[in-house]
Structure 1
């Protein structure tokens, strides 16, 4: 398996962990980040700008948001790559994604509450994405041919 496929495998692992943690904690922790809500808002807004009708069924829109998150986060986290340097790249990518999750929704017009409701919400959002970057790095490093 070449390094690009290994990096993509790491990215997919990181994205799946972020999504699994998010989906689990949002059901159990009142102040958990609601990145799924931001995804649903993004899809609806983009579709409306393209003169398309977004799904009216909230379950379908939620599924689209989760799939979009996994695809986009997989590609993003695959940038962690492989080898021993994957660790610092994964940490930087995860921290940057977490900071973006907290800082960007408001200015993008998606609302601030889903990722900024409380300090706990903000810390959890950054933590989710940092975890995803580290998982991507761990998989990329493990699959690497580098010593």
Structure 2
């Protein structure tokens, strides 16, 4: 499969895996990261800064989820620039960087970091889940390039 197509499909696969994990576990684990809440806050602040009234409730959630899927898919798609044999490793490292970024960049950009830093377990899960998404993306890209 062509490099660009496999990269995009892999990026989407990693993003979908990440978001399914986030949405499923938050329903039964109080310590689960709530990146969705950080995203909703970012979306609200961004829209308000642009002079646009931010939606609320389910509409805010859906818009935020769409933006999250697009941005994470684009980010994970960059894994495809690596060599085929190394793609899962590049994916894991790319995801690790995203997870650490979620922990360390939230507060400096003016967002509440509590949903991802609430407990040590929350912090570990945040990094682990982004790493998982990257690993899925890298693995899918590798398989598609056979």
Instruction: Please give the per-residue CA displacement for 1:50-97, whole angstroms capped at 9, x wherever unaligned.
Output: 011000x31110111111111110000011116112122101110000
In structure 1, stretches of 5+ residues that fail to align are: none
TM-score, normalised relative to structure 2: 0.95
Per the TM alignment, residue 104 of structure 1 is displaced from its structure 2 partner at its CA by: 1.0
- Count the aligned residue pairs: 144
Q: Is the 8 A contact 1:79 1:89 kept in 2?
A: no
2:66 aligned residue: 67
Q: How does 1:83-122 map to 2 (within 5 A)?
A: 83-122=84-123
3-state SS of the aligned residue for 2:47? helix
Q: Give me the whole-angstrom Cα distance separating, in 1, the residues matched to 2:113 and 2:6.
A: 35
RMSD over equivalenced CA pairs, Å: 1.0
1:78 aligned residue: 77
In structure 2, stretches of 5+ residues that fail to align are: none
TM-score, normalised relative to structure 1: 0.95
Q: Is the 8 A contact 2:88 2:136 kept in 1?
A: no
Query: After the TM superposition, which segments of 4 or more aligned residues of structure 1 sit over 6 Å from their partners?
Result: none
